[in-house]
Amino acid sequence: MTGDNILIVAGEPSGDIHAAPVVHQLKRLNPGVSFWGTGGRLMRDAGVELLADIDDLAVMGFSDIPRLLPTLARLRKTIIRQIRARKTLLAVLVDYPGFNLNLARALKRLATPPQVLQYIAPQVWAWRANRIRKMRGAIDRLAVVFPFEVNIFQAEGIRVDFVGHPLLDELEGSLRKEVAPKPPMTPLLALLPGSRVQEVSRHLPVMTRAAELMRRELPELKVGVSRAPGLEESLYHAYLGSGDRIRLYSDSHELLADAAVAAVCSGTATLETALLGIPQVVVYRTSPLNYRIARSFIRLDNIALVNVVAGKRIVTELIQQDLKPERLAGELLTLIGDAGRRAEISESYRTVGGKLGKPGAAGRVAAIISEMMTTGKND
């Protein structure tokens, strides 16, 4: 490969978190290579020249797409111009499938198309299976984070590698040997309301009201709230009240390490909570329009990743109208008081952890990229 620069595109906070370690690993393997693209603070700190920041790119639901379409169209054109000008021969696209799959197809129409690696696959097993058709011919290699995805994409003729889940690297050193411990005398309730402004505004009021109801039975209950990277503390303060039994944490790992139970916004955080061994209730609420559209596409009975990976419902999901403070409080109190239920969840968590591979995802992705750089081809 003659190009000495790599395009790397992330459009959400999670993509920034997962892409930055890959850049660090690649710099060790290929010190002379430079990186440019889109991302956030972590990628910038890793040395990526950013054309756009994730703060301007995050999409929250279907109803948010029209607002961002002009921005995304301009960004795609800018990337294509830069690909030509920089003679970039390798593109690494991290998650963010709505934008990245269309970008990959546009890149393959160039006179000198770059090789394309997609890191973290679209969840075609859950919804929008037709995305596989977009990937054929547009993606040269695919690095997936769930083992069951390998057969799905191989059957469609896509070269795929299972690299393990990056959460295992992020949590290395924090993982408990024994999960679901007996709740302490003064239990801590962990609240993880989400990583986006809209998620926090929809979930945190319900969560904090549930905590108030729980304190009627557990007066000494302490509450911790996880602040997502990139979100201002002021967003949370309106819902937190006052007193020494509530605390805002900037590190979700630290919060979960001391928690007895957790209420968790559906997403990767449910896997994080499971790996750290904390019994949880999964919640999600979006606008009625977004929910109706999503339900028309979703092919699974469960939406929480921890349940999807387990292959069955191991933790309760409270979605849309089912998410009420009273219901949430009741489910969490049951987890605190029912040792048998905690043990059942603990055993299922071990199964989930075993399905996520081993630490080292960033290194494996970097090795794939280095191979593509060396060979200049994908077979």
* Segment 118-130, tens digit of pLDDT: 999 988 765 556 7
* Segment 238-284, tens digit of pLDDT: 888 655 578 999 999 999 999 999 999 999 999 999 999 999 999 99
Give the C-alpha separation, 283 to 319, whole Å: 6
Residues 12 and 155 in one domain: yes
Residues 54 and 114 in one domain: yes
Chain mean pLDDT for the chain: 88
Output the domain CATH number for residue 204.
3.40.50.2000
Q: Is residue 183 part of a domain?
A: no
Q: Is residue 96 part of a domain?
A: yes
Q: Is residue 202 part of a domain?
A: yes
pLDDT of residue 64: 56
Residues 101 and 207 in one domain: no
Residues 246 and 279 in one domain: yes
Q: Is residue 181 part of a domain?
A: no
Of the pLDDT bands very low, low, confident and very high (cuts 50, 70, 90), residue 178 is very low
Residues 131 and 201 in one domain: no
Of the pLDDT bands very low, low, confident and very high (cuts 50, 70, 90), residue 55 is confident
Residues 83 and 225 in one domain: no
Q: Is residue 179 part of a domain?
A: no
Q: Is residue 308 part of a domain?
A: yes
Is the Cβ–Cβ distance between 281 and 316 less than 8 Å?
yes
Position 322 pLDDT exceeds 50: yes
pLDDT of residue 364: 97
Residues 337 and 369 in one domain: no
Q: Is residue 21 part of a domain?
A: yes
pLDDT of residue 379: 44
pLDDT of residue 169: 92
Element (DSSP H or E) covering residue 75: helix 65-86
Residues 333 and 370 in one domain: no
What values do phi and psi take at 247, rounded to 5? -150, 140
Residues 86 and 135 in one domain: yes
Give helix 233-240 / helix 197-214 axis angle, nearest 10°.
30
Q: Is residue 212 part of a domain?
A: yes
Contacts with 183 (C-beta within 8 Å, 6 or more apart), sequence order: 260, 261, 336
Give the C-alpha separation, 369 to 167, whole Å: 20
Residues 197 and 342 in one domain: yes
Of the pLDDT bands very low, low, confident and very high (cuts 50, 70, 90), residue 177 is very low
Looking at per-residue pLDDT, the higher value among 61 and 53 belongs to: 53
> What is the pTM assigned to this prediction?
0.84
Would strands 261-265 and 280-284 be described as parallel, antiparallel, or unpaired? parallel
pLDDT of residue 243: 59
The domain of 334 spans 188-354
Residues 160 and 11 in one domain: yes
Q: How many domains would you assign to the chain?
A: 2
